[in-house]
Chains A and B, each alone.
Chain A
């Protein structure tokens, strides 16, 4: 994730010229790159100078309306800065295998249990899935992340070492007639399809070092070559 290509996005980023999908991935990179953060902050001040020269007189009534509205608006409690990360979509929770192995295994087995119920007629497939899950969980760097999607939960277990991820879902609403859930590898550059969800799980081989998140969208049956917005969830991977 420290390729020069990623750094090159600092300019587009401060100009709000990075499409939604890439922005989240870049912001994640930012949080790990002090040099980029410094550069973004300087380029942002620079962009502000461009903004200031566009100054124009607003209609006078605007002031009264704004003041009335703020007198009726409660302020947020103090927290970390919005500019540098508060706006990033964060998953509901995150656990590292090394520190919370039991919890991870519990969650994973619940998710897999759902998958099992739904695939009783395809035992081999399920066993394969279980084997994939086991080998992933044994990887030293396995990470489990979960997010709410369309009334259900999507869980991604990923490992850089194994170069693999497993996407498990439970309780997702029906995507609609002729529609499917499709997963995407998000990172620098164009989103790449990670496959269409069949049943409640999807094995993502060749996760790729550049992939920072798995995105989920609803697409026409058979899947699309590029994602249709909105992205329902973006789940971080190792």
Chain B
């Protein structure tokens, strides 16, 4: 039974012996295929861990969150449907959400009532500097980030890599909330068009 299921993801491949893609693997995982999960793990763990590490920063906590995300991926694979998006996006959405949950719960315990402190106001510049020097694996992403306005890029970076809410981004960049919302959206739209992302 398991052998039969395991063959399913490779069945449609045009190329002989090609590795099944994440979408196919995740669908096999949904049927309880642990071998498919191992292959999926190897495909996604780099981006998953890297993103979590970037948001959470603390290595030990990042490892914990990455583990939780991968186990949750196994547990919830049955709810994945390819029409809604790629498996990679499914996994990365889960990873980002859990990373953000982690930083916000740590933060809210400490400073629920405190607004973003003054010392943190210098952070956007660090983040942006880091983004610029970040070793980007994909030239295209770097090039496309370069087409954004400074405000679009800083807002997106603070929100996505920094795990900030748009309200915090507004305070950090000293910009009205309506403007931040709009910049996050039109910045992503510009990135989408530059990267040629379609669904």
**Contact surface of A with B, Cβ cutoff 8 Å:** 5, 8-12, 14-19, 38, 41-59, 62-63, 65-67, 69-71, 73-84, 86, 228-229
Q: With A55-B46, A62-B63, A66-B41 known to touch, is A83 a contact of B199 (CB < 8 Å)? A: no
Assess whether A54 is in contact with B74, with CB atoms less than 8 Å apart.
no
B167 and A19 within 8 A (CB): yes
Chain B proximity of A154: nearest CB distance (Å): 24
A67 to B36, CA, bound (A): 11
B78 touches A50 (CB 8 A): no
Nearest residue (CB) in B for A8 is: B181
CA distance A38 to B198 in the complex (A): 10
Query: What per-residue 1/0 map shows which CB atoms of B179-199 lie under 8 Å from chain A?
Result: 011111111110110010111
On whether the beta carbons of B71 and A54 are closer than 8 Å, the reply is no
Residues of A within 8 Å of B183, CB to CB, are 11
The interface residues of chain B lying within 8 Å CB-to-CB of A63 are 41, 45
**Cβ-defined contact, A47 with B188, below 8 A:** yes
Contact across chains for B50 and A81 when beta carbons are under 8 A apart: no
B51 contacts partner chain A, Cβ-Cβ < 8 Å: yes
**Which residues, 65 to 89 on B, are CB-close (under 8 Å) to A?**
66-67, 70-71, 74-81, 84-86, 88-89
Complex-state Cα separation, A10 to B70, whole angstroms: 26
Cα separation A73 to B63 with both chains bound (whole Å): 19
Residues from chain A with a CB closer than 8 A to the CB of B34 are: 67, 70-71
Q: Which of B131-181 contact A (CB under 8 A)?
A: 134, 136-138, 141-142, 156, 159-161, 163-167, 169, 178, 180-181
User: Is B6 part of the binding interface, using a Cβ–Cβ cutoff of 8 Å?
Assistant: no
What's the Cα separation between A92 and B1 when bound, in Å? 38
> For B46, what are the chain A residues with a Cβ–Cβ distance below 8 Å?
55-58
- Provide the residues of chain A in CB contact with B49, threshold 8 Å: 55-58, 62
Q: How far is the CA of A162 from the CA of B41 in the complex (A)?
A: 54
Q: CA separation between A86 and B76, bound complex, in Å?
A: 11
Within the complex, the shortest CB–CB distance from A155 to chain B, in Å, comes to 29
* Bound form: Cα–Cα A63–B47 in Å: 14
A49 to B191, CA, bound (A): 10
CB distance from A87 to the nearest CB of B (A): 9
Q: List 20 A-B contacts (CB under 8 A).
A: A8-B185, A9-B185, A11-B188, A16-B100, A16-B160, A17-B169, A42-B198, A43-B189, A47-B92, A47-B188, A49-B191, A53-B141, A55-B46, A55-B50, A56-B49, A67-B37, A70-B70, A79-B78, A82-B76, A83-B93
